[in-house]
Structure 1
Amino acid sequence: GGRYRAVWHRGVPTQGKYTFADGLEYKDKKWHYCDGYDRRFYTEICSGLKPAGISQLTNLDPPRKIPKGCYDCGDGYYNPETRVVVDYKLRFLRNADDDEHKWIIRTCRKAWDETTEHKPKP
């Protein structure tokens, strides 16, 4: 996972830095990663983009294989039938509440592909 290194004074950080597991350092000012303008993953920023037609789906390349019927929710896999989140080694993490369930279904990468159609605005 990520790590937070800091200078502490009486249990309070006076200055510190958070580094994500992939090496990306968080900046509280002038943060441009995932800001809507630059959609590259951190590994693409470091190593460059792949040729057209070989898009990277996640920061991890190749991406993890998601178990059938499940979603990759960032810290593990989510099964919407059981509403259980397990880590990437398939160990129990938590039961998803209604809000997390809706967020995962709406947002996260799933194990299957779906064909979508363009719906013109009325």
Structure 2
Amino acid sequence: MELTGSSYEGPTLNSRMEGEGEYTFPSETKYIGEMKDGMFHGGGVLHFPNGSKYEATWENGIATQGSFTFADGLLYQEKNWDYCDGNDRRFYTERCNGLRPAGESQLTDLHPPRVIPDGCYDCGDGFYDPETRIITSYDGTFLRNADDSEHEWIVRTCRVAEEPIPESFLEEVSCVSHMD
């Protein structure tokens, strides 16, 4: 574990993880659950840094059945998945809480959306700077470099931060509306 940067808190048997424990990966993903002979074995939950989790039954380190819940509470369904399927484009929070009033569009699943630097893209687990091709977490921690395929996907599909509307433009629009 010292070589990989992982850590473990819990009981051991013959220097191997055994019983209820907590294993933390270098990525800060945590497994909390049962261990046997140094492997995940029995009931346990993987908690991801972004708030999502995977609850599963494990046998000798392999998940045999489980369920994935996104950070916002949406439970993934392998069959009959009807979220964001082209027919219903609402965010999960809109499905749970209803649509926002007219004029108060919801731009992301979070309302208000996270603030991201000008020219960067909101890609869910952080923001992406297309100039440096770096994805940074919302708290400022380096996450990863985007390869060509991820770059193309982010630029094509994600919300981009735009510079604020210039004050002079707002004054101009205000003058025009008073002339009507």
Q: Do they fold alike, i.e. is TM over 0.5?
A: yes
1:83 equivalent among 133, 142, 145: 133
TM-score, scaled to structure 1:
0.85
Q: Where do 1:37-52 residues align within 5 Å?
A: 37-52=87-102
TM-score, scaled to structure 2:
0.59
Structure having the higher Rg: 2
Q: Where do 1:92-103 residues align within 5 Å?
A: 92-103=142-153
Kindly provide the amino acid, as one letter, of the partner of residue 84 in structure 1: I
Q: Distance in 2 between matches of 1:8 and 1:99?
A: 33
Kindly provide the amino acid, as one letter, of the partner of residue 74 in structure 1: G
1:5 equivalent among 55, 59, 77: 55
Look up the match of 1:29.
Answer: 79
Query: Unmatched 5+ residue regions in structure 2?
Result: 1-50, 164-180
The count of residues paired between Structure 1 and Structure 2 equals: 113
Look up the match of 2:117.
Answer: 67
Query: Unmatched 5+ residue regions in structure 1?
Result: 114-122
Indicate the SS of the match to 2:154: helix
Q: Looking at secondary structure, tell me which structure has more strand per residue.
A: 2
Q: Percent identity over the alignment?
A: 65
Q: Distance in 2 between matches of 1:107 and 1:45?
A: 21
Q: Distance in 1 between matches of 2:116 and 2:135?
A: 12
Report the CA distance between 1:85 and its aligned residue. Answer: 1.1
Indicate the SS of the match to 2:67: strand
1:53 equivalent among 90, 99, 103: 103
Q: Distance in 2 between matches of 1:68 and 1:36?
A: 29
Q: Distance in 2 between matches of 1:41 and 1:111?
A: 19
